Amino acid sequence: MAPPSTIKIGGYTCPRVDIREVDPRDEKTPDDWIPRHPDLVRLTGRHPFNCEPPVMDLMSHGFITPTSLHYVRNHGAAPNLDWDSHRVRISGLVDKPMELSMADFTDPTKFEQVSIPVTLVCAGNRRKEQNSVKQGIGFNWGPAAVSTSVWTGVRVRDVLEYCGLKSQDEGANHVCFVGADPLPGGYYGTSIIRHAAMDPASDVMLCWEQNGERLTPDHGYPIRLIIPGYIGGRMIKWLTDISVTEVESDNHYHYHDNRVLPPQIDADTAKADGWWYKPEYIINDLNINSAITSPAHDEVVTIIPGQKATYACKGYAYSGGGRKVTRVELSFDEGETWELTTLTHPERPTRAGKHWCWCFWEYEVPIMRMLRAKQMMVRAWDTGLNTQPMNFTWNVMGMMNNCTFKVRIHDASEGNGLSLKFEHPTQPGVLPGGWMVPKVEVQAAVQVEKKVEAKAGVKYFTEEEVAKHTERDDAWFIYDGKVYDATPFMDDHPSGADSILLTAGEDATEEFDSLHSEKAKKMLDDYYIGELGVSAADIDTVVSKVAPLKDDVVGTSALNRPKALNKKKKMAFALVEREEITHNVRRLRFALQSPEHVLGLPVGQHMFVSAKIDGALCMRAYTPLTGDEVQGYFDLLIKVYYANEHPKFPEGGKMSQHLNSLTIGQTIDVRGPLGHIDYKGKGLFDIDGKEIQCRDILMMAGGTGITPMWQVMSAVLRDEADSTKLNLIFANNTEDDILLQEELNDMDSENEQCQVYHTIATPKNPETWSQGVGFITQEMVEQQFGPARDDAIVFLCGPPPMINFACLPALEALGYKKEQIFQF
């Protein structure tokens, strides 16, 4: 770190704290080339980089924030762009679409260059206060997601006029901006209305300098958008495209970020009912806000008897839309009365009279007066007579929290001395402390602990063992002393597999806590595989207790055959035969490594099939029709979900369409076996390491959920010594949707111990259809399964609505216990 210095830009003195070294926390991340200030509080673990400065460090520099201490909001890796080759494309409703280079932007003969101070604020500033009451879908910003810089660049209006902006009569109503950062939802982009971009008073700029120096990678190098008075989420970094359009941006992040939805709307409701697309909930202008920075969190002030000492309370305030903060008030009596503070406005208003920057307030209060108060709170007012509410209104994104900032005052006296200790609402990220936080944190920890501990009979691993699992197809991590296998979630992680791989093989507790909601923490149980901290010898002991498959189930020859599957890595298998059963059902046969190989898949378990589809890894779980009873091959039964067949899934099924497209000789990658259910034969199951003996196997399946049921049924019926009774209820939409219909009916007719019952939503001919119609009902289950009994076990596999709203309620009503019911 270089010694602090200053530089004067636009009449403002800008402090500089140069950072020249890469933080060790960025090693092995895509950002391992970017120097960053080590004191920044990281809010989302090591990557992506989202941070705020310690609030006292922020305030110590005054009006202009050093670039290295400016808060950062990155959705992914910072693009590594080149000044000379970078271009910004201007297109759409302009007379002269063109590409402009950095040389063009910085050419004073083309565009007037301006430098103005602007305060940037993330819409999530102070979000942790909301998350502490009810977790939303955003990470935990403290009160320092606010910083001020002098920005140098050109006005957007000048650039658009240079390109021949068309009139509104011609449809030029919106200006869209897109950056170079590739994300799961596409490149980050948004739009603003034409008037905002073209109003000379709005000072919307394309900037390449911050505090007199070229932008750093985290702040948008080589060029970014600055919209004074707006939330930071509209100010696109690493700008590549400007497009003038008739309607607002259709970018994923324009709709799915930076919204304030009503408090009754959670994430699931917002997605299901289209709330993200309602225009009335978009955020543009900042709202009025303020915070107390002195006294600091955990600061202790000693009271000396007989002295009329005072304390200088301090903080910041800001507003949006260019509105000036006109007053800031403090209250020491729960808001009954308010006292004016002294305001300092370091900025000069623009020629249009706009105020784009924060201001500072200070108030001298007698310390003895604070001794009588339980808390102090602050609120600000602006020229629009906007002020801050007493309490926040929760919203699912935790955006725009601007309730009065409250600091608790505690008696910290010891012995004969008098002291006061101050407690802020929260601390940023995963930092502990704050009067709003503890109850929620403890409660959440208890909930996760209870749920995980309820799952018994799992293995134990050392840190050395976990550290071996760091690959995309085999990734474990540690959270709160427990071990999880994240591999099945790789393809489904909203931020992509790289977010998991950053902490694969390591303790990810801090990163996980900083990034995830309570809902995500509850999902951990689905990937829980064991406990941390047991010796390798103990692990061997636990593993040795898992019994091998019975000889009389699969035959001695199968046990002695080489196994094709590998749990540690993907194995490639070539397609050798395909059968088109119906227009959308295929039976695919894949060759193993040799004719002597068996698949090596225990009955009741599955495997992951993966493939690169459209340049991205796609991975799905499949249960093959064949197992170790055959040699040299395995068969997959797939139902093809074509694109544009279902309005909710316009792209169709990626993996099923990919498998359907395979030609003879092409390969798929498979890894396994995986799963928690293992059928040993003669009614004996090993489930989560616990042996369960049954007389009856009761099954309910929907659609493609039939394949694991078929696997178990086939194993039972192949073994003449296995007298376990089988009873299946199979639900489908139509008769044409029934997979393996002929084979299942043969099982039913040829084996007294097997009963198969079909129910379909819409029979072709209701008069001739002799079995069930409609959803699975309690009466149907009672008729087919009979009364609840201790020697029965129930397996479910199908769509979640079928399981949650039909199967489980029916079983519960009939007296089946939870410990009898399992899902594949």
Residue 274 has pLDDT above 60, yes or no: yes
How far is Cα 129 from Cα 142, in angstroms, rounded to an integer?
A: 8
Same-domain status, 373 and 427: yes
pLDDT tens for residues 535-559? 333 323 222 222 222 333 333 345 5
Q: How confident is the model at residue 298 (pLDDT cuts 50, 70, 90)?
A: very high
How far is Cα 239 from Cα 187, in angstroms, rounded to an integer?
A: 10
Q: Is residue 120 part of a domain?
A: no
Neighbours of 750 (CB within 10 A): 9
Q: How confident is the model at residue 525 (pLDDT cuts 50, 70, 90)?
A: confident
Enter the DSSP assignment of 646. B
Q: What is the pLDDT of residue 676?
A: 83
How far is Cα 82 from Cα 217, in angstroms, rounded to an integer?
A: 11
pLDDT tens for residues 30-54? 999 999 999 999 998 889 999 999 9
Q: What is the pLDDT of residue 650?
A: 73
Q: What is the pLDDT of residue 611?
A: 84
Q: Is residue 52 part of a domain?
A: no
Q: What is the pLDDT of residue 558?
A: 52
Single out the residue in 435, 455, 490 at which a domain terminates. 435
How far is Cα 23 from Cα 32, in angstroms, rounded to an integer?
A: 8
Catalytic sites, residue numbers: 122, 257-258
Q: How confident is the model at residue 769 (pLDDT cuts 50, 70, 90)?
A: confident
Q: What is the largest CA-CA distance in the chain?
A: 100
What is the CATH classification number for the domain harbouring 452? 3.10.120.10
What is the CATH classification number for the domain harbouring 385? 2.60.40.650
Q: Is residue 29 part of a domain?
A: no
Single out the residue in 650, 675, 700 at which a domain terminates. 675
How far is Cα 631 from Cα 628, in angstroms, rounded to an integer?
A: 7
Strands 606-613 and 667-674: antiparallel
Instruction: Read off the amino acid at residue 216.
Output: T
Candidate from 40-54, 603-617, 654-668 with smallest mean pLDDT: 603-617
Domain extent for 301: 289-342+360-392+400-435
Q: Is residue 136 part of a domain?
A: no
How far is Cα 115 from Cα 152, in angstroms, rounded to an integer?
A: 4
Tokens matching residue 513:
């806590």
Same-domain status, 682 and 819: yes
Same-domain status, 564 and 507: no
Neighbours of 717 (CB within 10 A): 16
How far is Cα 476 from Cα 70, in angstroms, rounded to an integer?
A: 34
Q: Is residue 211 part of a domain?
A: no
Residue 306 has pLDDT above 70, yes or no: no
Q: What Å distances lie between residue 380 and 284, 315, 342, 374, CA to CA?
A: 20, 11, 12, 21
Number of domains the chain is built from? 4
DSSP-assigned beta bridge partners for residue 483: 478, 530
Same-domain status, 750 and 724: yes
Q: Are 617 and 472 in contact (CB under 8 A)?
A: yes
The rounded percent of the chain whose pLDDT value lies above 90 is 60
For the segment 88-111, the average pLDDT, to the nearest whole number, is 97
Tell whether residue 403 is among the known ligand binding residues: no
Single out the residue in 528, 544, 560 at which a domain terminates. 544
Residue 265 has pLDDT above 80, yes or no: yes
Residue 567 has pLDDT above 70, yes or no: yes
For the entire predicted model, the pTM comes to: 0.61
How far is Cα 582 from Cα 507, in angstroms, rounded to an integer?
A: 49
Q: Is residue 201 part of a domain?
A: no
What is the CATH classification number for the domain harbouring 618? 2.40.30.10
Burial class (CB in 10 A: 0-12, 13-18, 19+), 188: buried
State the Rg of the chain over Cα: 32
Tokens matching residue 476:
């474990």
Residue 471 has pLDDT above 60, yes or no: yes
Same-domain status, 321 and 421: yes
